Amino acid sequence: MGNAAVCNHSGTFLCVCFWCSLARITRILGVRSSDRSPGFCLLDLRDPCAAIRAAEVVPDASSFPEILVGFALGGALITAMWLLLWVVGLNNVQRGPWTHWFEDLVFDSYISAVLEELAFRAVLFRILARICGVRTGVILSSLLFGLAHLTHGSWLGILGITLNAGVTMALLYVITGRLWMSIGMHLGYDFIETSVLGVGNHHGFLVSTPNAGAQAWLSGGSFGPDAAVPGMIVGLIINFVLWRLAFGTSNVE
């Protein structure tokens, strides 16, 4: 997300280290398999391998519809933000060569999506939901997700990632009780932004750059549409709907 995939190769390595550290922390916190909240289960994370199996890292037939729905949602969200900026004349768009799409799909999108959803939703969010409650866990884990991308851009970019990605994917996890829809959204968001819309690179199907003279808070600058205030408004609307679906008729704290 932003001017590159959410997690580059060094970031992916840090995510693995982060996830392993959190698995160790759960031994201190005493997270048990009997701890449950609506929509998802706080599994026993004291065994990292058990945590990976429980999170369903290897997709099966039942996971593909959720991945596809998530992919469509993520792609639609970033495209809506990009389209809004293009319509009001804040972005320049040209046809690109569309090369490196396989690397963008597998290495910069799918692998980082799986690792980051494991770290921030399957582990960190569960811990925070146990300690602080599910609603607070959504907010705190999303803030930490945004801060983890501090090197990707400005504070507006961090806020955009928090709102447009962190909160949205955490809510999908609460609603479905599985990682696959949030993984699919993460994958679709990254791949469409980087490889199709060509934000922050020159090898996409399109090449998108902010107009000269456009203020960064309106255009997103070099970071991308998710750092633009109009894009954040789109994300807030989506999150309002998802929040109602996740908590509107429940007594989840």
**pLDDT, tens digit, for every residue of 54-77?**
444 566 777 899 999 999 999 999
In this structure, is the dihedral angle defined by the CA atoms of residues 15, 17, 20 and 25, taken in order, positive or negative?
A: negative
pLDDT at residue 147, as a whole number: 93
What does the pLDDT read at residue 36? 38
The tokens for 224 are: 């991308």
Q: Locate tokens 């160790």: which residue?
A: 24
Count Cβ atoms within 10 A of the Cβ of residue 87 and give its class: 0-12 exposed, 13-18 middle, 19 or more buried.
exposed
Task: Give the residue from 223, 96, 112 showing the smallest Cα distance to 160.
Answer: 223
Q: How many CB atoms lie within 10 A of CB 212?
A: 7
Please check whether residue 183 is in contact with residue 175, taking contact to mean a CB–CB distance below 8 angstroms: no
Give the per-residue pLDDT at 155: 86
pLDDT for the residue 252: 59
Residues with pLDDT less than 70, the chain: 1-59, 152-153, 249-253
Reported pTM: 0.80
Tokens of 228: 């633009």
State residue 61's pLDDT score. Answer: 78
For residue 40, the model assigns a pLDDT of 57
For residue 123, give the nearest of 21, 28, 12 by alpha carbon: 21
> Pick from 137, 115, 245: which is nearest to 190 by CA?
115
pLDDT on residue 149: 86
- Rounded Cα–Cα distance for residues 19 and 22 (Å): 5
Task: Determine the pLDDT at residue 26.
Answer: 43
* DSSP helix/strand/coil, 6: coil
Nearest to 240, CA basis, from 171, 194, 175: 171
User: According to the model, what pLDDT value does residue 201 have?
Assistant: 86
Provide the token pair at 207.
Answer: 């090449």
> 33 in the Ramachandran plot: left (φ > 0), alpha (ψ -120 to 50) or beta?
alpha
Confidence (pLDDT) at 198: 92
